[in-house]
Chains A and B, each alone.
Chain A
Amino acid sequence: MKNYWHSVVLEKDYCNGCTHCLDRCPTQAIRIVDGKAKIIEARCIDCGECLRVCPYHAKGALVSNLEIIKNYKYTVALPAISFYGQFPLEYDMNTIYNGLLQLGFDEVYDTAHAAELLSVYENAMLDKEHIHKPLISTYCPVITRLIQIKYPALIDHIIKLESPMEIGARHVRKRLIAEGYKNEEIGIIYITPCPAKITSIKDPIGISKSNIDEAVSTEEIYYKLMKFIDKIVPEHQIQKSTGKGIGWARVGGQSYAMDIEDYIAVDGIEEVIKVLESMELGKLNSLDFFEGYACVNGCVGGPLNVENTFIGKNRIRKLAKQYGMDLPVKVDIKLTPDNMEWNLPIEPMPVFKLDKDFKRALEKMAKIEEYTQMLPGINCGACGAPNCRILAEDIVNGFAKIEDCKLRSK
């Protein structure tokens, strides 16, 4: 199995070995070893839940900082759509985008516009007959990773479309190359709300290489912009999305922009897991579309954002209305598979398998049952595993010993 690059990392000095993150990790990827949390990389889906709950800020995301723009001759800022929800409404979004130019970017591309184009393309795909219903959105990369590791039977339901950021980046890069820039002179920088998007850039699914070069956090850009936000002169018209694209920043916005009736939009990783479980049981086969987000309220809830998710969501709702929900989308990128789709298959990543060999797996399972019976079953986490069952698994896999149980030895 291929190990993939991760953006969620642990800053060991800050970790005091408390068990907050253990229990919150939806894929049981964390253990406390020698008093410090450790992330099992193969299991991590970069959802950032641990980062959000850590009271000591011991977890971070591997983002670049703005200095990175010096490495390129021509830089393009690609702000996440949730960027719209970060600023008080008295600041005009076009002005804010112009502020990014003052920060040193040569160009800013309104990612929300790529989203509204994608909505048009996506809607047309729903009409195709051979598709597996419900189609699952790939907009939140955490959900795609979750399906790869835990629900591989649902891989065929995934709608293999690029994310708005990637569509925007492909389009801009093509144009710049046509204008005479060399590929390596162009730096396309995403302003990200979450670690998962960084992983999508460094180690993408569905394509071999991202057209985005680096990601910086929304947080960093926000604080830098706020220092001179009142002095920005909006020289250029950069903002070009209607409300349809802007709405993508919150849960349900994608389905709304696609103008479909029969969809469910779910936020919060635990709730998404419940829905995927029913989907695997075939309970949702008549549904057209499913969009799921690891974060509460969708991308506005991303852990690298500044604003409270509910305040952000409210702003997105108001802005979407202000920029017009029913205006026609100006199609200025050709809606072809080449521009909008993934070209590589999505592979299952069965990390929960005890062993490749069925017989060996069975033997291990029997031993796990035995150890589970020996453990107290109160799932205290003191041993460093999220619960007794996982400790039993770790013992059988040789990563822990029965003596690690603090209650049993007493």
Chain B
Amino acid sequence: MQSYYKDENNVAMKLHFDVIKDDFSRAGEASSKIKNTLRQLAIDANLLRRIAIATYEAEINLVIHSFGGTIEVYIKPDCVEIYVEDCGPGIENVERAMTKGFSTATSIAREMGFGAGMGLPNMEKVSDEFAIESQLDIGTQIKMVVKY
């Protein structure tokens, strides 16, 4: 697996979104804005769909699992990079978290239809490059790259 680093080279445009924890009513807003922006940029429909899935799953994870965090999108001439960072609590066992169907979502989140344990696996599946680093009590950082 790749390591997490922010590549500031050749960034044509940056989008930045703050995501608040437990804010279920607004969950999905950031990814929807990202999708609408990219749609206007003449990005291929299937790439757009992959980016939409990656950012949506990341946003939902921030809402249900994190103490809050950010999603940054770097639009570059040859790819779109998505950086997701939160301020805790960190993932105990990243490998297990990446397993399909594994979830630590609360019963409240599950009742709302989230927490199927497919978030991280889906994010990896739609990305050409995927990096995740997490430290307990500090936070989690994810980088996803979708190439044109």
Contact = CB atoms under 8 A, between A and B. Distances in A.
Main secondary structure of the interface of B (DSSP, over half): helix
A350 B46 contact: no
Contact of A153 (B49, B56, B75): B49
B107 interface: no
B40 A365 contact: yes
A406 B17 CA distance: 30
B42 A361 contact: yes
Interface in A356-410: 356-359, 361-362, 365-366, 393
Interface stretch (A175-183, A231-239, A277-285): A277-285
Interface string B38-55: 011111011011001100
A352 B40 contact: yes
B12 A362 contact: yes
Contact of B42 (A150, A281, A353, A393): A353
A149 B94 CA distance: 40
Interface in B47-69: 48-49, 52-53, 56
A104 interface: no
A354 interface: yes
B40 A281 contact: no
Given A280-B49, A281-B56, A356 B42 contact: yes
Interface in A49-101: none
B45 A153 contact: yes
B42 A355 contact: yes
A152 interface: yes
Interface residues of B, number: 19
Nearest to A150: B39
A365 B37 contact: yes
B45 A361 contact: no
A206 interface: no
Contacts of A357: 42
Contacts of A365: 13, 37, 40-41
Contacts of A352: 39-40
Contacts of A353: 39-42
Nearest to B125: A282
B122 interface: yes
B98 to A, nearest CB: 18
B77 interface: yes
B135 interface: no
Nearest to A356: B42
Contacts of B13: 362, 365-366
B45 A348 contact: yes
A56 to B, nearest CB: 32
Given A354-B40, A365-B41, 9 more contacts: A277-B32, A280-B52, A354-B42, A359-B12, A361-B40, A361-B41, A362-B12, A362-B41, A365-B37
16 contacts: A150-B39, A151-B45, A152-B45, A153-B45, A281-B52, A281-B53, A350-B45, A353-B40, A354-B40, A354-B42, A361-B40, A362-B12, A362-B13, A362-B41, A362-B75, A365-B41
Interface of B: 12-13, 32, 37, 39-43, 45-46, 48-49, 52-53, 56, 75, 77, 122
